[in-house]
């Protein structure tokens, strides 16, 4: 569940960004649309507790971001947020399995082999566990990154431009996978995108929330 009220963020010596209110229920889907540089990253950073709002508040999975300290933020983020970055940033030094193990380590969780196997299974990439990221295709790599994102059973999945540089078929497959994974994990899915195909893909989805983000405008 994500809801915002009069959410705004002011950069030091920069413009103030104001965001439209949203109410995405648990298990819902939220689209953040806007050109690059419009403030989608700022919205994601606010939702992840990486930035504190200058005005208003954002509540993510029952947690008010305004009330979250930096230190508590790290631990909260580890368990509440699953993040799928545009560049996947799978660590080249580690295998697929190692990348997931490292996510557990980074979150300060004890190693849980059962959960790693489960997450890899859910994304159908368990057979690739011993490969290095350089040995994966683009689609496989995205699946692995998604397995990493849902590893700690987050309440919210933040996907940053998941369809960038994908052709139409691959983009559709990627979005379908995202939605299916979020449904399976009962997580709220947030997709930040400037890609018109994403809105097109979700146009028939019930209860879809969508906000347009534009610099300097509500």
Partner 1 sequence: MKTIASNTVAFAWRYLWSRPLAAALNLLLLTLGLASITFLLLVSHQISQAFDRDVAGIDVVVGAKGSPMQLILSGVFHLDVPTGNVPLAAVKALEADPRVAKIIPISLGDSFRGYRIVGTTPEYIRHYDAQLAQGTLWAKPMQAVVGAQVARQTGMKVGDSFVGTHGLAGGGEEHKLSPYVVSGILADSHTVLDRLVLTATESVWQVHETDTALDDDDRKVLEEDREITLALIQYKSPLAAVTFPRYINSSTEMQAAAPALEITRLLSMVGVGTDVLRALAGVLLLTAGLSVFIALWGAVRERRADLALLRMLGAPPAKVAGLLLCEALWLALLATVLGVLAGQGLTALLAWALQLEKSVLIGALSWPVELVSVPVLAFGVALASALLPAWEAYRVSVFELLQSR
Applying CB under 8 A, which residues contact partner 1? Answer: 36, 41, 44-45, 48, 50-51, 71, 74-75, 77-79, 81, 83, 85-87, 89, 91-95, 97-98, 101-108, 111, 113, 116-117, 120, 126, 129-130, 148, 152, 160-161, 164
Nearest of 150, 134, 148 to residue 183 by alpha carbon: 150
Nearer Cβ to partner 1, position 108 or 216? 108
Q: Can you tell me whether residue 158 is helix, strand or coil?
A: strand
DSSP 131-148: S-GGGS-HHHHHHHHHHH
Question: How far is residue 108's CA from residue 211's CA, in Å, rounded to a whole number?
Answer: 34
Least distance (Å) from partner 1 to the CB of residue 207? 26
We find the least distance from the C-beta atom of residue 173 to partner 1, in angstroms, to be 21
In whole angstroms, the minimum distance from the beta carbon of 162 to partner 1 comes to 12
φ and ψ of 114, to 5 deg: -60, -45
Our CA angle for 144, 50, 3, nearest 5°, is 90
Give Cβ neighbours of residue 75 (< 8 Å, ≥ 6 apart).
Answer: 107, 108
Nearer to partner 1, 20 or 117 (CB): 117
CB of 79 to partner 1, least distance (A): 7
In the complex with partner 1, which residue's Cβ is closer, 164 or 199? 164
Residue 92 beta carbon to partner 1: minimum distance, rounded to whole angstroms: 6
Residue closer to partner 1, measured from CB, 11 or 205: 11
Give the residue with the Cβ less far from partner 1, 18 or 77: 77
Nearer of residues 161 and 185 to partner 1, judged by Cβ: 161
From the CB of 194, what's the least distance to partner 1, in Å? Answer: 10
Please name the residues in contact with 129: beta carbons below 8 A apart, sequence gap of 6 or more. Answer: 95, 96, 97, 120
| DSSP H helices in 107-205 | 113-122, 138-150, 168-185, 196-201
């Amino acid at each position: 569940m994500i809801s915002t009220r009069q959410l705004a963020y002011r950069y030091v010596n920069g413009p103030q960004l104001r965001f439209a209110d949203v109410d995405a229920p648990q298990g819902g889907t939220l689209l953040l649309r806007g050109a690059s540089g419009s403030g989608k990253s700022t919205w994601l950073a606010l939702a992840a507790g990486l930035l504190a709002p200058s005005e208003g508040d954002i509540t993510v999975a029952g947690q008010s971001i305004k009330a979250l300290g930096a230190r508590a933020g790290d631990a909260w983020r580890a368990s509440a947020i699953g993040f799928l970055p545009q560049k996947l940033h799978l660590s080249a030094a580690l295998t697929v399995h190692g990348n997931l193990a490292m996510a557990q380590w980074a979150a300060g969780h004890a190693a849980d082999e059962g959960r790693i196997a489960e997450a890899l299974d859910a994304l159908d990439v368990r057979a690739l566990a011993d490969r290095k990221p350089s040995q994966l295709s683009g689609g496989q790599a995205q699946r692995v990154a998604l397995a990493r994102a849902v590893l700690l059973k987050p309440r919210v999945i933040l996907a940053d431009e998941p369809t960038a540089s994908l052709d139409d078929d691959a983009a559709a497959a990627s979005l379908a996978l995202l939605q299916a994974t979020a449904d399976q994990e009962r997580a709220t899915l947030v997709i930040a995108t400037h890609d018109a195909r994403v809105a097109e893909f979700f146009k028939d989805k019930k209860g879809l929330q969508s906000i347009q983000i534009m610099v300097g405008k509500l």
